Structures are given as structure tokens and as C-alpha cells.
Structure 1
């Protein structure tokens, strides 16, 4: 395959401490900078706001590995959550929003402030949309420095697919990437799963990752809408 037909990887990537390479683009550069600013957070806390698939969980993992933070799911905060701060200096609470145990979260934030424990929260919307009923909790949440993450754009998603294949020593053609992108969930997990399955199938059959092979992998994951498949697309490799 000629170099001209390959999709160049134009984005820098950051090693996520052995978990994955985190690609940095306009959609997440502010959040990455904020995470990199720890432990010099002026208020001892940070709120990451962004849609599903924007990379919040990946940055939490990067930060957790660095800080030793204890991680909680917002919808499963234990009643004795404050006891979980006895032996940690940082804590992360993921997917905050409507329905979160407000009292548990309020106690957690108060205890973290008293004990000098840094807090990282993630959510899909700003606290004003959570329908918080405890005024002091809402006030505290609004005081947290917040960074908004955007959904990754097409260029960043394309670079991510290329990087995931490159990690497996596979050069992928632009046409394959362009075919896969609109048919795949816009999340790291979905792309990682696709690349893994495509690699396994290509190795099993001794074939390169072509558009036809990619279509078979996608079809195995979920049926493709009829509108997504044109008459001119090949049915076999």
C-alpha cells in the first residue's frame, strides 16, 4: 500500500499509564490540561462535564493512576462513603447528575474539604441541570472549577482508529476508516472492541483489514441499517 493511501496520524498521543493512548484534540485539550495541573488544583477539586464517549472515564483513570484516588459511581455511593476517605488523599465520583444520592455526595465533599482530599467529579451536564434539592450542595458544586469536554470530532476519531490499529502493527487505509466511522458508536470502548475483532478475524483468515472485512465485523456486532449499505459495496474480500 502506498503512503499516499494511508491516513496520517496527525494528533499527538499521551500514554495513559499503561491503559491506553489518549489522543489530544480540540475537544479535550482543556480537560487534559486541567488533569495535568493536579496536584496544584487551587480549590482541591475539579468537575469534568461532557457527553458519553467524550473521554471522561479515560481521564479519570489517568488521574486515578497518578493520584491513587478511590473511585465511586455516583449512583452507588455507599452511606458510609466518608469512611472511605480515611486512607486516601484523592477521590473520583463518576457520572454525577439527577438521581445522585445528594446527602452522601454532600457529606463526601464536606469531609474531603476538611481532610484535604482532592475530588474529581464527572457528569454529562452542569450541576444546575441535576435538580439538586439541597441548596448548600448545589452551591458547593457550582464553586467547583469545571471543564467542558466536547464529543470527539471526525478527525480525532479517525486518528484514534488509526492509532489502535497501528498499536497492532496494522496499516489501515483511509477508505476503511471512512467506512467504519459513521457506523460505529462514538466511544473509545466501541472502537477498541471493533479493532480487536477486526484484528482477530484478519489473523484467522490471513487477510488484510479491508472494507469488506470491516463490514462483516460491524454486522456481527449489530445489524447495519439498509441505508448504510450501498449496492456498490463488495460482499466479499
Structure 2
């Protein structure tokens, strides 16, 4: 699964909704949410949100983009138009920075323009900034000066909240104890939560069975026996 696929799987809601109401906040992401939502009262002009694939970075970034009226920029193809927007004071979003996969000179100029133009810059990445392989000393200094916050691996509360929402979106009534049981036995990622809800839904429809504790237990055992592949 690619990083892009993971981001799409993560940012939850079957309709792909990225609204604030759809953002589930727990200990795992609370610090990042609180920092981003402080806009425009940030500690500085640059904020970086780092976290594993499927942790909610894109969802949080989308909420901020809409709130701040930010320009969304492709990290792999930063353009002169992006620089012009920063110089004009428009907030800038660069979502999904990958190590070595961005033009350092353009990013450096954008960061300088954000500072002088009075806007803000939010960057997200699955990698801590120290692993971005930045070769330009001045750019490395700018990035090191950014306020960086990490989103942790999903905790039980977040996985349960996500799965509860996904089942509700499908109009499926599943007991809370069943959701807790499944959440405690799957890979700790929101992509896995999304996948298992989809597969449980399909399996219950195919077998014309309600998603009970026994049904879910058999499903999870089948998953384990197939070493991570769903046999249902």
C-alpha cells in the first residue's frame, strides 16, 4: 500500500469527509490538533505535523486549509505560483513531504516569503523533519526552527471511535463491546480499521449474519490464520 493510499484510507468517513465534525480527537493526536487550531496564533510562521501513514495528517491539514484559506501545494512540484501566493501573504499548505522529493531552493524561497509576507506555512510528513535529507544549510535551519508536533500511532480510543463512525456511516448497528474486541486485535492503524470494517460488512452481507462477538472473533481468527490476508 502506498503512502497516498494510506492517507486516503485514513481520513475517515466513507464519503471522504474531511470536516472538523469528522475529526476524532484522542491522546494520540490531541497535541497536533490543539496546535493547528491555534491558527493564526501560532508560536511562529512554520508548523510541521509529523506522524505515521494513516494517522490523520491530511484530515487535519484539510481542516486548516479551509479555515485559513490556504493554498495547497504539491510538495513534489512547488511552483512560482506557490511562491507568489506566499509573497502575497496567503497561508500555504504543503501536505505529504517526502525525504529528498522536493525542490530545496523553491521551498527555501517559499519559507522566506511566508515570513516576510505575514502568512503561515503548514507542512505534513510521515517522516520527522530530521530525516528529510535537506542538503541546503539555510533551508535546514529554517526547518529546524519550525514548530514540530507529532501524531502518535492510534490508541484504542481512536481506533474504537473510528470504527464506530465507519459502522454508523454504513448504517450498521454493532455493539460497542464487539468494536472494542476487534480494535484490540487488529494492526494499530486507521487504514486497518477502515479495511476491517469494510470486510466485516461484506462478510455479514454474504452470510446474512449480524456482526456479533462470535462472528467478529471468527473473522479475526481467519485473518490471523491467513497471516494478514482476509479469507472471508
Q: Distance in 2 between matches of 1:54 and 1:86?
A: 31
| Match of residue 13 from structure 1 | none
- 1:117-128 equivalent positions in 2, closer than 5 A: 117-128=119-130
Aligned partner of 1:5 in structure 2 is none
- Give the corresponding residue for 2:104: 102
CA distance in 2, matches of 1:161, 1:102: 39
SS for the counterpart of 1:125 is: coil
Instruction: Please report how far the alpha carbon of residue 134 of structure 1 lies from its aligned counterpart in structure 2 after TM superposition.
Output: 0.4
Which residue in the other structure is 1:179 paired with?
Answer: 182
**Deviation of 1:157 (Å):** 0.9
Q: Answer whether contact 1:165 1:172 (CA < 8 A) is retained.
A: no
Q: Residue 146 of structure 1: CA displacement?
A: 1.3
> Relative to 1, partners in 2 of residues 1:93 and 1:228: Cα closer, same or farther, differing over 3 Å?
same
Instruction: Decide whether the 8 Å contact of 1:81 with 1:104 is kept in 2.
Output: no
Deviation at 1:44, TM superposition (A): 1.9
Cα offset, 1:23, TM superposition: 1.6
Q: Classify 1:218/1:77 alpha carbon distance in 2 versus 1 (closer, same or farther; 3 Å).
A: farther
Distance in 1 (CA, whole Å) between partners of 2:70 and 2:175 is 37
How many angstroms does 1:174 deviate by? Answer: 2.2
* CA-atom RMSD in angstroms: 3.5
TM-score calculated relative to the size of structure 2? 0.73
Residues 1-237 of structure 1 correspond to what in structure 2 (within 5 A)? 18=19, 21-78=22-79, 81-85=82-86, 89-99=90-100, 100-167=102-169, 168=171, 170-175=173-178, 177-179=180-182, 182-183=185-186, 186-187=189-190, 189-192=191-194, 194-196=196-198, 198-199=200-201, 202=204, 207-210=209-212, 224-226=223-225
CA distance in 2, matches of 1:96, 1:191: 24
C-alpha change, 1:151 and 1:185, in structure 2 (3 Å) is closer
Q: Which has the larger radius of gyration?
A: 1
Compared with structure 1, are the counterparts of its residues 29 and 191 closer, same or farther at alpha carbon in structure 2 (3 Å cutoff)? same
Structure 1 runs of 4+ with >6 Å offset: 215-219
SS at match of 1:23: coil
Q: Is the 2:182–2:220 Cα contact (8 Å) retained in structure 1?
A: no
TM-score by length of 1: 0.72
Q: 1:176 to 1:158 in 2, by over 3 A?
A: closer
Aligned residues: 212
Q: Which runs of no fewer than 5 residues in structure 2 stay unpaired?
A: 1-16
Q: How far 1:203 moved relative to its partner? A: 6.0
Which whole-Å CA distance do the structure 1 matches of 2:28 and 2:49 have between them?
Answer: 12
